[in-house]
Amino acid sequence: MFLNLLEAPRRLLALVCLGCLGLLAFGLYLQHVVGLEPCPMCIVQRYALVLIAIVSGLTAITNKNALLLSGASLLVLLSGFGAFVAARQSFLQWYPPEVSTCGRDLYGMIETFPLKRAIPMIFKGSGDCTKVDWTFLGGSIANWSFVCFVVIGLIALTLIARLARQR
């Protein structure tokens, strides 16, 4: 089935967009229904998913190979960024620092500090980022997020290779 989807890159990109929207909806469900508060790293991963959904959705609209190739390349970068943040959070969950302080949320940091100081603060894990509140098959949300970002990146790389061969 995946090979059939490679023949129709626009459908594959639409599925990536829908998958990201589903992951975002699940994150909102965990936040608002289950009551799990997202940490700054979770919020950054959500932003990466939103950007991937937008890029894949807009790229799925086009029929030009050059735009499909550009969109898939951007997806590789965005999914790599999301995978990096998820991997960092997973590392913090497996090896929590001895002193864990929670700190401010993303919005509070951006409102209080200039952007060049707030961005490094976001990527320094806090007490919330080390906490594992939910697991599925032994993996935390950060672990599963990493897997999803890697799968999206692999799909985009496969799409790039396929489109490059068609040229």
* pLDDT tens sequence across 36-65: 777 777 788 888 999 999 999 888 888 887
Answer whether residue 122 shows pLDDT above 70.
Answer: no
pLDDT value at position 53? 92
Answer whether residue 106 shows pLDDT above 90.
Answer: no
pTM of this prediction?
0.73
On average, the pLDDT of the chain sits at 76
Answer whether residue 101 shows pLDDT above 50.
Answer: no
pLDDT value at position 145? 87
User: 3-18, pLDDT tens digit by residue?
Assistant: 455 567 888 888 889 9
Rounded distance between C-alpha atoms, residue 52 and residue 26, angstroms: 16
Confidence tier at 80 by pLDDT (50, 70, 90): very high
Rounded distance between C-alpha atoms, residue 131 and residue 72, angstroms: 33
Please give the helix or strand (H or E) that residue 23 lies within, else none.
helix 9-29
pLDDT value at position 5? 53
- Answer yes or no: are the C-beta atoms of 129 and 39 closer than 8 Å: yes
What average pLDDT does the segment 135-150 reach?
Answer: 78
- Answer yes or no: are the C-beta atoms of 68 and 59 closer than 8 Å: yes
Confidence tier at 29 by pLDDT (50, 70, 90): confident
DSSP H helix total and E strand total for the chain: 8, 2
Domain borders along the chain are 2-166
pLDDT value at position 166? 74
Answer whether residue 112 shows pLDDT above 80.
Answer: no
Answer whether residue 136 shows pLDDT above 60.
Answer: no
CATH number of 2-166: 1.20.1550.10
